[in-house]
Amino acid sequence: MPLPDDRILTLPLGSEPSLQRRYMVLDEDLPANVRFGLILEVLDKVAEECALDYVRRIHPQARVVTAAIDNIYVRSAADVRRDLVFRARINFVGRTSLEVGIRVEHAAGPDGSPPAHIASCYFTMVARSTTGAGAESLVLPSFGPDDALAVRRWERAIARREGYRQQLHQAQEPPTREEYALLTSLHAAQDEPGFRGLMAADCVTSGWERTYPEHENVPTKIFGGHLIRQAFEQSAICAEQVAPHRPVIVAVNRINFVQPVRMGDKLQFLSRAVYSGNTSVCVETDIIRVSRDRTQTNLSNSCVFTFANVDEELRPQPVPPIYPTTYAEDARYLAAHRRRAARLAWQASRRR
Query: Which pLDDT does position 349 carry in this prediction?
Result: 67
Q: What confidence category does residue 216 fall into, taking pLDDT thresholds of 50, 70 and 90?
A: confident
Pairing of strands 63-74, 266-276: unpaired
The single-letter DSSP state of residue 222 is B
Tell me the pLDDT tens digit for each residue of 81-97.
Answer: 999 999 999 999 999 99
Q: Give pLDDT, residue 4.
A: 64
Task: Give the pLDDT mean for 302-318.
Answer: 96
* Model confidence pLDDT, tens digit, residues 115-144: 999 999 999 999 988 755 667 889 998 777
At 300 the pLDDT is: 96
What gap in Å lies between CA 112 and CA 142, rounded to an integer? Answer: 43
Sheet strands (E) in the chain: 7-11, 63-74, 84-93, 97-106, 116-128, 198-199, 204-210, 246-257, 266-276, 280-290, 297-310, 322-323
Kindly indicate the confidence band of residue 169, based on its pLDDT and cuts at 50, 70 and 90: confident
pLDDT (0 to 100) of residue 79: 94
How far is Cα 9 from Cα 42, in angstroms, rounded to an integer? 9
User: For residue 269, how far is the Cα from the chain centroid?
Assistant: 15
- Per-residue confidence at 147, pLDDT binned at 50, 70, 90? confident
Q: How far apart are CA 23 and CA 330, in angstroms?
A: 37
317 or 293, greater pLDDT: 317
Name the percent of the chain lying above pLDDT 70. Answer: 95
At 26, the amino acid letter reads L
In this prediction the pTM is: 0.93
**pLDDT digits 0-9 by tens, 35-48:** 999 999 999 999 99
What pLDDT is recorded for position 132?
A: 59
State pLDDT tens for residues 254-268. 999 999 999 899 999
Per-residue pLDDT, averaged over 234-239, amounts to 98
Among left, alpha and beta (phi > 0; psi -120 to 50; other), residue 121 is beta
Of 7-11, 200-204, 342-346, minimum mean pLDDT range = 342-346
Average pLDDT over residues 14-25: 95
- 36-67 burial, b for 16+ CB within 10 Å, e for fewer? bbbbbbbbbbbbbebbbbbbeeebeebbbbbb
